[in-house]
Amino acid sequence: MLVFDAHLDLAWNAIDWNRDLLQSVPEIRRREMAETGVDFKARGRNTVTFPELRKGKVGIFIATLLPRLFRPNLMPAIQRYSNMDMAHAAAMGQMDYYRVLEQAGHLNWIKDAAGLDRHVDSWATGESSGPLGFILSMEGADPVLSPDQVHEWFAAGLRIIGPAHYGVSPYAHGTGTVGGLFPPGKPLLKEMEKVGMILDVTHLSDQCFDEALDIYGGPVLASHHNCRSLVPDQRQLADEHIKKLISRGSVIGSALDAWMLAPGWIRGKSTPKEANVSMATYVDHIDRVCQLAGNCNHAAIGTDLDGGFGTEQTPYDLDTIAALQVVPNLLRERGYKDADIKNIMHGNWIRFFHKAWSK
C-alpha cells in the first residue's frame, strides 16, 4: 500500500550527518559503526534511505529544511547557527540538496495540486520506477529573515512552515518552553496566509498553538505529533488540541520516536524492548485521533524517523522505515476497514493538500 510520510529530515541527514541516502541502510550503518569518535547513539542505527523508502512503498513524503539557531542546553546536533543569516544560508544549501536530487531523477518536487495528482497517479499501486515525491517544509522558521521574505521562500518551492522547533525561534516559543508568539510571529503568520503557505503547528508551545490558530486562517496540519492523553508531555497534542485541529480540517501525522509513544521513557537509558514500545504502540496514537474525530479522516503517518535518533529510540520491531507496511494489518486487527486504512496510510494527506492547493 502506498504510504505518505509527513515528516522526514532528509537534507539534514545527508548534509549534517554525512549520509548518502542513495546507499542502503546496511551500507550507512557499517560505515558509521567503523568511524572513530562516534558522537551520538543514533550513529550506525539509521532507518531511512531511498532504497528503504521504495521497499516500504513510501512514494511521497514531506521533506524538511532544518537549520536552527543555537540555543543553550539543547541538542547540539540541531542547534548550531549563531544568527539568522547563517541559518538562512544553511537552509539554502539543504534546499539545493533536494534540487540536485530532483535534477538527477531521484526526486519529484511537488508544489501544486496538479503535480500532486500526477505523482499520486504514478504511485497508485504503491509501486513505481519513477522518482520519489516530496513536498518541502521548514521546521523552525529561523531561516526566514523577516515576515515579508515568506513570498521568496514560497517562490523557491517551500510550501509549509512550522514557526518553532525545540526551544524558541525568532517568531515563537517551541517545545520545552512556555510562552506565546514573539512580535514578528503575527506578521509571519499573516504573510504565510497571504501567499498560501501552510502552517505546521508541530513543536509550538500550548500558548503559541492557540494564538496561531486564532491569527492564521489558512490550512493547518500537524506533521509529526502524538497524543498527550497516552504520553503526558508538552511535546504531545492534548485532546483539546486534536479537537481544534479536527474542526479546522487538519490532518495529524503520528511519529515513531519511542519517547513519544510510551510513558516513562528515560532518554539515554530506556530501550524499546524494555519499555515494550512496538508498532502496535504506534497504532495506539493513530487510533486515539480516530476515536476523538469519530472517523478516520484526520489520522495519518508522520514518522520523523532519523530525526536525531535511530533504532535505539524506535519501536523494537522496526528496523527500517519499510516497517510501515505492518501498520495496515495492525489496523485491520482492530477492526478498521480497508477504505479507512488507505486514508490513514496516504489518502488523508493527499486530500488535505489537494484541498489546500485548490483554493
- CATH number, position 290: 3.20.20.140
* Mutual angle of helices 279-293 and 239-247, in 10-degree steps: 60
Cell reading at 113: 495540486
Rounded to two decimals, what is the model's pTM?
A: 0.97
- Over the stretch 314-353, which tens digit does the pLDDT of each residue have? 999 999 999 999 999 999 999 999 999 999 999 999 999 9
Domain count for the chain, please give it: 1
Helices (H), the chain: 10-15, 25-34, 50-55, 84-103, 113-122, 150-156, 185-195, 206-215, 239-247, 279-293, 327-333, 338-342, 348-357
Which range of residues forms the domain containing residue 257? 3-357
| 109 Cβ contact partners less than 8 Å away, ≥ 6 residues apart | 98, 99, 102, 115, 134, 136, 157
- Over the stretch 129-159, which tens digit does the pLDDT of each residue have? 999 999 999 999 999 999 999 999 999 999 9
Backbone φ and ψ of 202, nearest 5°: -55, 135
Q: Quick one: which of 107, 7, 4 has its CA closest to 57? A: 4
Which pLDDT does position 68 carry in this prediction? 86
- Over the stretch 97-128, which tens digit does the pLDDT of each residue have? 999 999 999 999 999 999 999 999 999 999 99
Identity at 325, one-letter amino acid code: Q
- Average confidence (pLDDT) over 233-253: 98
- Over the stretch 257-290, which tens digit does the pLDDT of each residue have? 999 999 999 988 999 999 999 999 999 999 999 9
For β-strands 79-81 and 132-139, DSSP reports them as unpaired
Q: Are 330 and 280 in contact (CB under 8 A)?
A: yes
